[in-house]
Structure 1
Amino acid sequence: MGAQQEHDTARHRFDVADAAPLLLDAHGIVKGWTRDAERLLDYGAQEAVGMTAAALLTAEDAGRLPALAQRCRADGGWAGLLTARRRGGRPVRVMARITAADDSDGSARWLVLLSEMAEAPGWDMSRRVLEQLVTRSPIGIAIVDTDLRCVWSNPALEQFGSAPAQRRLGLRFAEIQPGLDAEAIEAQMRHVLETGEAVVGYEHVGRVRSAPHRETAHTLSFTRIDDDRGNPMGLYYTVVDITERHRARQRLALLDRAGEYIGRSLDIRRTAQELADVAVPALADYITVDLLESVLRGAEPTSRVTLLRAGQQSVNEGVPEAVVEVGEVAAYRPGSPPLRCLAEGVPLREERLDPLAAEWATGIPGGRRATFMELGLHSVLVVPIRARGVTLGVATFFRRRRQEPFDEDDLNLAEDLVSRAAVCVDNAWRYTREREAALVLQRSLLPHRLSEQAAVEVTACYRPADELTGLGGDWYDLIPLSGARVALVVGEVPGHGIRAAAAMGRLRTAVRTLAALDLPPEEVLGHLDDLVARTAREEGVGPDPEDTDSAQGSGCVYVVYDPVDGQCTMAAAGHPAPAVIMPDGTVAFVDLPQGPSLGIGGPPFESVELALAEGSTLALHTDGLLARGQEWAVDAGRNRLRQALEESAASLEVRCRTVVDALAPARPHDDVALLMARTRLLGPDQVADWDVPADPARVAEARKTASRQLTEWGLEEFAFTTELVVSELVTNAIRHAVGPIRLRLIRERSLICEVFDSGDTAPHLRHPRTTDEGGRGLLLVSQFARRWGTRFVPEGKIIWAEQSLADPPD
């Protein structure tokens, strides 16, 4: 760079603010020293005055002094970069400006202004450069004082919806942009003023004055401005419009949320409502989802177009815009946009709706009709719900609260959203169609549901054989018994197909009938064996079980559990023994004597009795769970089942399905049934019993004792009926039985009254004539109790009566 060019450039790149001045005479000797010069070069005034200028510079720049002195005399001054030396010799890069300062006596003097470059970055640029930098910047910049009032702003700030610069002077942020959250922004400003910590990238969303109907997003950065002493003079902030980036981020977030939220179940209506819930308010203020009636039924689409409202949502509570409720027919006028989109499979966008149009609807239930103006709707998107080339319905998005109309980006977003939902709707539709067909068959094979019992927590899993083998006859059941006990049953009928299913239905009905007699498990299986054998003889069963619907050769395990004492009794007929999962998680198989398959004949059935700790789990299963493919090995199958039961630690229902999933393929060769029951024990506060002397005079005392117990249980409204039942049953035992008598009350889901005696004769219900003096006891009991009966135990019999706690007596 030439000398003249360097001089000109330096002159334009130097500002005098905050420079350290000093004075030189004509020979370059220091004649004047200032505190700023002392701060910069670390020489005191007494030491510095009299030094040569060369002594204040590095050797290299000191050699330039003769040439610089000549230029100063020729041009009247000079400006440029020099390297000075602080006291001790440490160099410091400075910007220097030398100008003539003639004394009054005419002697030549030179005023030197030094500014340290390291502490004042940017001072090598002229004010004109800095002004161009801030005025031409596309980034909005403003300066506010310590009262947060605007003192300067650049023109770019007007692009962000702000007022012109002259109108912003002296105003606070809330006065400049009332549509934004000024309180939150000014809180950031105060934080910067108080701490000096810059805030960078503060994002803010709101509505600017110039576009009050459109939400915009900006990122702001705040930096404090200090004076020479470090005191805050104010701050400057920059503004960058990130609206497009913000909207793109919102779209991605909405699609991500849709992927997580929509289709969480295989219920069509729920899936449609999930689409509506996701779209409001992120995309629309009101949305309707209408599906073909055939789709909702799980049937194939037909030529008849009947739309049902499957889901809708609004930003307003109660969805006041809706003229059709969910589940009702959504009838549209011919040629209306929803029907056109449904027929053509092409979306539609209307930026501005006809305010006098009546939502394209006709035949609205209740006769309600409302124009778009009355509903406050002004812009619409209509998107067909299509999956795998089939149109399933139509989704309609409206805007009401937000004044900006739907644009092309909104339509693309709506299509992506509906496309994702359409796959879920299609999956739900196909699942519904298959499920409805499967349920029809399942209802004829298995219990509709397993009723809740106080004795056990129970769940079951059934997996039919594959379509090549054909549906088999595996089944399970839960049967409530007297005394809060339950019977758990799992069985298997040989063969496959509809004949095996029919045999299973007959066998299950027979088991429930025998269970109602309160017989021990071995007797239930004995009677069942006789019934199957007799039926086989009567029907002339051939050698091929596939040619008959007989249950001959069936297997069955029958378990009775008593929650009062935790006793469990079971017997088996040609069926695998249950497994028991102890409360500590260990698994054992019951050593259960195996009786012959039903109807085959053989030795009598035997039962075993064991005590189960509360929280133990019984696992009753068919042999399909032990088989792998077509192989069947008891020991290997048991080991796999034990491992699966030990490894499962989830809830009982999940545990049941997990075990089946672990041991059986999706389409097993044979049916698989697993019934799991976790045992419970009735607490001491649920059971009360008393010995009753065989004295008619003690009947009154038994009534009073029972009444007091009901009062303790808070069941006073059952006192009258219970006293009557106790009186009749105890009186009957005293009159007709011998030996000890015992009264027991059990409170669980019902109130049970039991009277034990050592007799072996079962009472019979009589209908006495009006002239009879007795015989009305059991008749009264049958009238006041929900059910009653007799069961035999090894020591005698128990007569019981049960009252429903859900229906207090009048």
Structure 2
Amino acid sequence: MSAFPSSRLTGDGVLDFTRTAVVLADHTGVVRGWTEGAERLLGYPAPRAVGRPLAEVFAGADPRPAAQDSTWRDRLAAADGWSGLAAVRHSDGRRLDLELRVLPVLDARKRSSRLVLAAEMMRTPWSGLGRSMLDGILGMSPVGVAMLDPDLRYVWLNDALERMGGAPRAERVGKRIGEVQPGLPAESIEAEMRRVLRTGVPSVGVEYLGRPRSDPRREHAYSTSFFRLEDEAGGVLGVCYMVLDVTESYRARQRMALLTRAGERIGSSLDVWQTAQELADAAVPDLADFVTVDLLDAMVSGEEPSSGPVHATDLFTMRRAGQRSVREGCPEAVVAVGERASYPQSAPVVLSLTGGDSLLLPVLDLDGSDWPADDPVRAARLRELGFHSLMVVPLRARGTFLGAATFARWQPTGPFQPDDLVLAEEFVTRAAISLDNARRFTREHAAALTLQRSLLPRDLPEQSAVDAAYRYLPADSSTGVGGDWFDVIPLSGARVALVVGDVVGHGVHAAATMGRLRAAVQALADLDLSPEEVLAHLDDMVNRVAHDANSDDGVIGATCLYAVYDPVSCSCTLARAGHPAPLLVSPAGACQLVDLPTGPPLGLGGMPFESTELLLSEGSLLALYTNGLLLGKALDLDGGITRLRTALADPQAPLEDICETVVSSLPGARPVDDVALLLARTRALPQEQLASWDIAADPSAVGAARRSAAGQLARWGLEKLEFSAELIVSELVTNAIRHASGPIRLRMIRDGALICEVSDGSSTAPHLRHARTTDEGGRGLFLIAQYAERWGARYTADGKFIWAELPLDAVAETVPASALIDAFADLDPPVAPPPDTR
């Protein structure tokens, strides 16, 4: 062995050997290693020093034999450790006052060698510190230092490393790390040291985790630096490492990182159950091995929890809302999610929670009197699973108790510490705010959903124009209830109106606005307005709502599709206001988007709406929907149309099955926006249920019209309606002859009711009058209103229809005879009821 280059022993500023003489001597006391620092200090170059006894190179400064201090020279020659002061002669003869330290080491043959460190007291950075500095670095320093030979066996270590690892120095020397510290990752540490030995490139700040013999129950974190030791010729002598226990700072960093991840994970939704589960997921496995989250019943139902003091009875009305374990299947759980959580009625946990404090049981005494020993079932389960530490933290938000979270450990990571409780409380505080927000949203969402459902049709009305089916899916709870709606409205003449609409926005106001629009559509449908006129009136209404001084939530628009199908002519008239075009599927399965003018959304105002009339084959399928059906999670309009086309591939399948196919094709568990789907399969009215006659514009034609109507009723087997039907036909035909222009036509339809219609070429509408006793006319429509179930007027491009409906089970005595006598009592002479006048 020759000299150590001093620069090789520099450890990133931790130990600086450039001003220190480092001398390695063998078991006989002969110098075998000599550094540049030793040459600068004592003046001997390495060739003159190596091979000489230590006593010669560290010669006494006083030439008088009596003045020689034999104590330190004897200690140099001895094999045991020693430190002290000495007066030594430089090679040029001058005196040097040195601080000496002798450290025992073992050579490759396990013989007792020694390492001598020397520094001049007055001319080094240690000046004024002397023995204190040297003892501090090598004895009292918190930095552990060790030297290992090329086989990675210990040859020397300082006191700090001995204390840090818990293994005595005598046990370490000559052994490898894994042999004396099985709780450390020896393979990875030795792999790093071999890399340093191979490359000569130091490693600084390498961190690893382990369980030292000094504290085997607790995992520690270490920061270690490695550098290679070389001789004068560059030969590898071994490796030196310096290590610090950075457990506290490591755990602080881990807690901050864990808290950051928890903040990102907890509260990602406005669902109480999901938020509770997110709390459990965020804490396992980094903080605890098993976590449960129990909430008051009021929380899971969306009600307002009591803001007063927490009572013990409140703890017995909680439900398990979330739980997570490092074990698959969560075998530690006593109850399942959604079930009633059980808490013992004795003990510290109840007192802690009712007092608003957290509970920390670092060492769980399952055999003592503490909880959960008072709960035999729970205690037996925890004992079986080996739990050793427990924390219970109350969930509180805005001064209100919401529930409790329990954290447990069973793995050998050590019991919970006070810092862990602080971290758990921070977790729970964040989760509690998110849970309370989720509860409030759940309550508002439930109210909006209840309002929305109350405003939508529960069942489709009876009518014979189409077979209809529908599906309505509310949006994902995070987006709130929307304002989508649909309707099937029976119209006069056996026709039917099909409506689908969507209000801009979400929430209670959108649902309320939807209800107003739906009611308006039904009122306008009763007026028998054409589709484009209905949309124009709706547009005016939305404009009024948007400019209402009390409307401050920004809902200013809606879309709507309005279609009217006539089973007599098999025609369908459609108009839309910014709404997706419907899909039409022929009886043979050909599917196409209806080419329909778009029209502006409702609420813009000032722009006209246009309608399109189609002739549909019987059995055609018309699909009306809102855009939530098309967009889905992917927000892909073209993909939504393709999905809908595929779902409608079999138009003759049962409509309910088609609805299920369409809904099941939606991506994701819940749609991002409300989905309204209305399917209508067209029917055609059989000719045997229809009769019509052209009426001449002559008063004598009234009698012929009555006789024709009576004959048709006889053929339909409706003779019991003869009196009522003749009266209605007589009045309608008489009014048309007297007050309208031709051509005049009478039509009777047998459907769910008996429909009597008279069409003419006039656009003037009749109205119901309340005639005085002295009036000779004005009672015709009054009589029609008394006999008919419904009556009204609708307009066409060529004129109008006046119609009335009689229920098929009606009888002739619908109006008592006394009412007729009273109506004409003041007429002299008595006459038949006159027709209505304009």
TM-score, normalising length from structure 2?
Answer: 0.48
TM-score, normalising length from structure 1?
Answer: 0.49
